[in-house]
Amino acid sequence: MKYKKMLLTVMYSLFAKNLPKSRRCIFFKKAREFFARRILTYTGENINIEHGAEFTPWISLGDNSGIGVHCELNAVENGEIKIGRYVMMGPECVIYTRNHAMSRVDIPMQQQGYEKPEPVEICDDVWIGRRVTILPGVHIGEGSVIGAGAVVTKNIPPFSVAAGVPARVIKNRKG
């Protein structure tokens, strides 16, 4: 099973990933969806994987959600990315579930490996703007909006509008 997903991932990277954007032809959307359904941990109904999107298998993608143009979702085993329903993701977003280790100063960081993976969860009805970076362990609450270019380092409460580097809540959508 592991080798099957690896082969499908290579085939996606060589073929479907570089097909034109979905709005040009339904075939391009369906081709990327075909591979995503066989690679990702879970895929809901009516998903959309856009041109140039890169992803690893440890991702769940809910109904009516998508991965934007040239996005990179880098989940690892024991550090899954869970994306809820009706999640909009702008182009060039990056989501990580692990970071480089850097706690020791007696050896180069390059030789320290990685920290323990931490899952990322994006709840239902979230809008993630262009070029947003989401770091390990973050939980984005239902109905939230993440402004373009934000770097999300901490949890975002439900129905929040967050922006900036690092991202901070600037407004509550409920008033």
* Local structure of residue 31 (DSSP, 8 states): H
User: Quick one: which of 13, 19, 20, 15 has its CA closest to 57?
Assistant: 13
Per DSSP, the three-state class of 36 is helix
Active site residue 51: no
Residue of 51, 70, 100, 139 marked catalytic = 100
Torsion angle in degrees (nearest 10) through CA of 35, 39, 40, 46: 20
The CA angle 81-101-168, to the nearest 5 degrees, is 55
Measured distance between the N- and C-terminal CA atoms of the chain, rounded to whole angstroms: 49
Buried-state track 5-27, b at ≥16 Cβ within 10 A, e below 16: eeebbeebeeebbebeebeeeee
Beta partners for residue 151, in sequence order: 133
Residues marked as catalytic: 100
